[in-house]
Chains A and B, each alone.
Chain A
């Protein structure tokens, strides 16, 4: 296990197309987070899972966005009918979810989406 992995690393698509990204967390981590980072900004929280349950979604996550973590392991983030404003780096992070303790979030390398 070499850490959090994301696939693809780069995606170029035309406006209106659907795209799907995958994140494989560190195997023993039960919490998984998605963030979006646009140029010149810090990462912004999108959503997170504890095991297979999606516990919170940001207002940034419009109806065109959907995320799943069906078996509590890998996660997918789908964007339907992409818009140019969706162009960003999409980051995934994972951590242990022990109650009452902070555990470090480990980040993946990100998927860079460009919508033409």
Chain B
């Protein structure tokens, strides 16, 4: 079955510390994976997608098919990175399968 797992509900770090938000997936086929972010009182928005291999706001994510993972990383966290982060898998028809989400809290 297609599934996305985010093992951490809350991740708390200090400003300037490295951040890694974990995401594992289960999918039969070639996966398309994304990270979505939801800042306080804002709507859900796309942060980055694996096929673009881009860095957005200092965040990167590498698809590791051997480990079925798509972890989100940033070398130096900023207070404005505090938000809910959702890993998502593109399923047939373009519908998204989301993980449970990880709340990132960056303390000053």
Interface residues of chain A, those whose CB is within 8 Å of chain B, are 3-4, 31, 33, 35, 40-45, 48, 55-56, 91, 95, 97, 102-110
Contact = CB atoms under 8 A, between A and B. Distances in A.
B97 interface: yes
A4 B44 CA distance: 11
Contacts of B90: 102
A1 to B, nearest CB: 15
A47 to B, nearest CB: 9
B9 interface: yes
Contacts, number: 56
Interface residues of B, number: 23
B27 to A, nearest CB: 15
Contacts of B45: 106-107
A102 B32 contact: yes
Given A40-B100, A41-B100, A48 B43 contact: no
Nearest to A34: B95
